Structure 1
């Protein structure tokens, strides 16, 4: 459980507890290289069977796509919400010049794995990477603590996007930037949660939640964030993800329905970017 600042403890949903605890999703053949995401498959030949190297490359590429939206990043402080195994945090630190990167995750077992996986960082980097337990809806950080906030394929698990938006606005410095990448419902059709639960086991169990893009943009703007932009990157995600799934799952099995949900307009993969307004400079 994670304590909301000034509020009640926020328990993990059972599906999240199980999937990222005893099941250890990141150790399954679906993922690899210390990442847990569907991947960004641009530039990878999908006419042949993807290799494990292709799979890891796709997951790295998704982080590159996200982190590029935050540039310039040299010397800044960043937090990754839902950091999982922490490999994306280490990448951000090593390749993007952040002064410090904080990985936050709700699951203590994931944090234990992250700390273990990155215990041998060079001394000059070890002090600049930390892992902290916390929930997206109640972050254990001070006001205006970070220049950048990002989240890669974790927001589909968040219980309350509006609360996350308020926390994002709180922990970002004025002028700070945020990017969220994950799969969401593209419209406000109230039938979508039931439709997705019928197609995809992760929605049926409550591991994934059918949050909509209007809900996300409304929450971010309602929290006072500006320059809210939504970009679909599904064309670079879904076909490659399904091609990788085809090496393990037959057509007609539920994981192959992600591509069907995308084609039918029920689900897509998005980058959502926003900023905390900088103070208005008064003329001298």
Structure 2
């Protein structure tokens, strides 16, 4: 894997700069363990009291689901776009056996925190883990240098999904796969942004961007990726997330509205997968 010069890309919005910089969302107890995602709760008993251990597991399980769909990764290379504190990168190294994992983030403060958090791992296995500054729309890597690209709960911030899709297709090797987990609107109704901004502070302040899931699937297809598929996993995300939030926020407060907009069929959580077509087989290599 070779890194090129930093590509030009969009600057961070003020809300992204604050949330992942001075505010340090990774340090909020609601995102226990340094992960920053809503979690996949399908294997957690929601009828029992939720402890921090279950919360951490929900976030790890979301990464496992994404990595399973991007894999197998044994001996291969993977890029995480929007790596945050790098906890998912460390999990991938620990459980999936890749030769290299690169965590890329647009926020310099997040990268500093990631390098500090994983200083021992970076020292012991510098050839297997790297953290790099770059944007989803301008990745500083050479063409075809990764076997897999993943992104967990970051795409809702990306200003330009078409540019992200084009860059993903560019850095993937032929036969490589991409797996993205994030939340999107269920359709392209023109009032979705206003509806969400009226209920969720993250849409009102511009941290999250209201777009239909088809905006990403169509962008992947336009970028030349194949086998593009969007799977709703909301039933395994929203109820557990809301139950965890109920420990801190009362019903009717804005964080609890995530479940509300899911139940109203405005927003859902998706896993989107695709692959770069394998290179054509040379005639001389055709089986007889």
- Aligned-partner Cα distance in 1 for 2:195–2:40: 25
**Unaligned ranges ≥5, structure 1:** none
How many residues align structurally? 280
Contact kept? 2:115, 2:131, Cα under 8 Å: yes
**Cα distance change of structure 1 residues 123 and 12 upon mapping to structure 2, 3 Å threshold:** closer
What are the superposed Cα offsets for residues 115-161 of structure 1, whole Å, 9 maximum, x if unpaired? Answer: 00001127553321000010001111111111100000011110000
Distance in 2 (CA, whole Å) between partners of 1:225 and 1:27 is 36
Q: Kindly state the Cα deviation for residue 16 of structure 1 after the two structures are TM-superposed.
A: 0.3
Partner-residue secondary structure (3-state), 1:30:
helix
Q: 1:16 aligns to what SS in structure 2?
A: helix
The answer as to whether partners of 1:4 and 1:135 remain within 8 angstroms in 2 is no
* Higher deviation after alignment, 115-124 or 64-73: 115-124
How do 1:71-150 residues align onto structure 2 when only pairs under 5 Å count?
71-121=71-121, 125-150=125-150
| Alignment-derived partner of residue 249 in structure 2 | 249
Instruction: Measure the CA separation in 2 of the matches of 1:283 and 1:187.
Output: 44
Deviations 1:198-234 (A, max 9, x none): 1100001000011211111111100111100111110
Query: Which residue is equivalent to 1:202?
Result: 202
Q: Which runs of 4+ in 1 moved over 2 A?
A: 122-127
The match for 1:187 is 187
- Contact 1:49/1:247 (8 A) holds in 2: no
- Quote the offset at 1:25 in angstroms: 0.5
Q: Which structure 2 residues correspond to residues 144-183 of structure 1 after superposition, within 5 A?
A: 144-183=144-183
SS in 2 for 1:257: helix
**1:283 shift after superposition:** 3.7
Matches within 5 A, 1:46-57: 46-57=46-57
- C-alpha distance in structure 2 between counterparts of 1:237 and 1:25, whole Å: 19
Give the structure-2-normalised TM-score. Answer: 0.94
- Per the normalisation by structure 1, the TM-score is 0.96
Quote the RMSD (CA, aligned, Å). Answer: 1.3
CA contact (8 A) 2:71 2:177 kept: no
Which sections of structure 2, spanning at least 5 residues, go unmatched? none
CA contact (8 A) 1:35 1:85 kept: yes
Shift of 1:282: 4.0
Distance 2:54 2:154 in 1: 22
Contact 2:35/2:88 (<8 A) preserved: yes
Q: Is the 8 A contact 1:105 1:135 kept in 2?
A: yes
- How far apart in 1 are the matches of 2:126 and 2:241? 33
Secondary structure in structure 1 of the residue aligned to 2:84: coil
Residue 10 of structure 2 is aligned to residue 10 of structure 1: yes
Match of 1:40 in 2: 40
Question: What SS class does the counterpart of residue 39 from structure 1 fall into?
Answer: coil
Match of 2:68 in 1: 68
